[in-house]
Amino acid sequence: MGPMSAWTGATLRRMTLMQRMLERLDVDTTKVVCADFGMTFRSVVGRFRACGDEEVCSRWLDGEGTGSDPSRFCPNSRAFGSYRQQ
C-alpha cells in the first residue's frame, strides 16, 4: 500500500469515527457546520484527522470503554457540548 492509500484509509476511518461520535453524543450537525461560517466544523474535522486514539475511540463507541464521558480521549467532545440536541 502506497502512502496515498494509507492516508486515504486513515482519513476514512477517522471520519467514520467522527460520524459515530456525532451520533452517539446527539450533536446537531447542522449547528456545528454552520457555526462561525464553518470554522468550528473545520477545527473539529482537523482534530479528528489528527486523532491518535482511534482504538480507544472505537472501543468506546462500541460500548467497550468505561464511563460515559469521552473527554478523557476525545479533544472534540467538549467542543460538541453547545451543539448537542435538546
Q: How many domains are contained in the chain?
A: 1
What counts of helices (H) and strands (E) characterise the chain?
4, 0
pTM of the model: 0.83
Q: Please tell me the distance from the alpha carbon of residue 38 to that of residue 72, in angstroms, as a whole number.
A: 26
What's residue 30's pLDDT? Answer: 94
Nearest Cα neighbor of 68 from 32, 29, 24 is 24
Q: Which domain holds residue 73?
A: 3-83
Q: What is the mean pLDDT of residues 23-50?
A: 92
Q: What is the mean pLDDT of residues 4-28?
A: 90
Q: Which residues pair with 84 in a beta bridge?
A: 27
Give 82's DSSP letter: G
Give 84's DSSP letter: B
